[in-house]
């Protein structure tokens, strides 16, 4: 019994420790839960640091994906919790060394608000990467079709 108790305490502390090592696989699967703000900011900071190893073009895509995930987390946060959570996030981000831009928030006369507040997700934020290409291709077809109809009617 005496030997089991310290092992049990070690298991509890390991399971509840938010500051564990983060690898690239975890960053690709991460979904930021802003209700657990400490863990979310820690994961975000570590994932940003992991992204610094990449080439510039890969780094920008990687950072963009992280920003999209964080924007989605801000949008999914209930409106009545946003103000308090944003203020706490800003204070904790300063301690962790995360910039306001990387945190995806900015200050207005109402206080801190997410960049994505009031915006619909762009076509690029959708899961399928071909949507942007399909949209561009279909718009060119539409313009070409309209021009052909105009030319044929005159």
Are residues 143 and 70 part of one domain?
no
> What is the CB neighbour count within 10 angstroms for residue 114?
21
pLDDT given for residue 151 in this prediction: 92
pLDDT in tens, 77-95: 887 887 788 888 887 887 8
In a domain, 1, yes or no: no
In a domain, 109, yes or no: yes
Query: Structural domain tally of the chain?
Result: 2
Are residues 97 and 24 part of one domain?
yes
In a domain, 55, yes or no: yes
Are residues 113 and 133 part of one domain?
no
pLDDT given for residue 132 in this prediction: 54
Spans of the chain below 70 pLDDT:
1-21, 110-112, 115-138, 140
Contacts of residue 127, defined as CB under 8 A and 6 or more positions apart, other chains included, come to none
Query: Can you give the residue range of the structural domain that contains 149?
Result: 122-154
Contact predicate 37/92, CB 8 Å: yes
pLDDT given for residue 13 in this prediction: 37
d(CA 120, CA 117): 9
Interhelix angle for 56-76 vs 37-51, to 10°? 170
Residue 115 burial (10 A CB sphere; 0-12, 13-18, 19+): middle
Please name which of 74, 66, 60 lies closest in space to residue 46, comparing C-alpha atoms: 66
């Amino acid at each position: 019994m005496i030997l089991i108790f310290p092992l049990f305490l070690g298991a509890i502390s390991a399971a509840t420790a938010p500051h564990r090592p983060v690898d690239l696989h975890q960053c690709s699967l991460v979904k930021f839960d802003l209700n657990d703000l400490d863990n979310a900011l820690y994961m975000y900071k570590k994932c940003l640091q992991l992204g610094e190893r990449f080439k510039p073009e890969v780094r920008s895509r990687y950072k963009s994906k992280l920003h999209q995930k964080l924007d989605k987390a801000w949008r999914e946060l209930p409106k009545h919790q946003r103000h308090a959570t944003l203020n706490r996030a800003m204070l904790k981000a300063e301690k962790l060394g995360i910039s306001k831009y990387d945190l995806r928030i900015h200050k207005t006369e109402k206080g801190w608000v997410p960049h994505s507040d009031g915006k619909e997700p762009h076509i690029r934020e959708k899961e399928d990467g071909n949507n942007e290409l399909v949209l561009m291709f279909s718009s060119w077809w539409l313009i070409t079709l309209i021009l052909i109809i105009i030319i044929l009617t005159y």
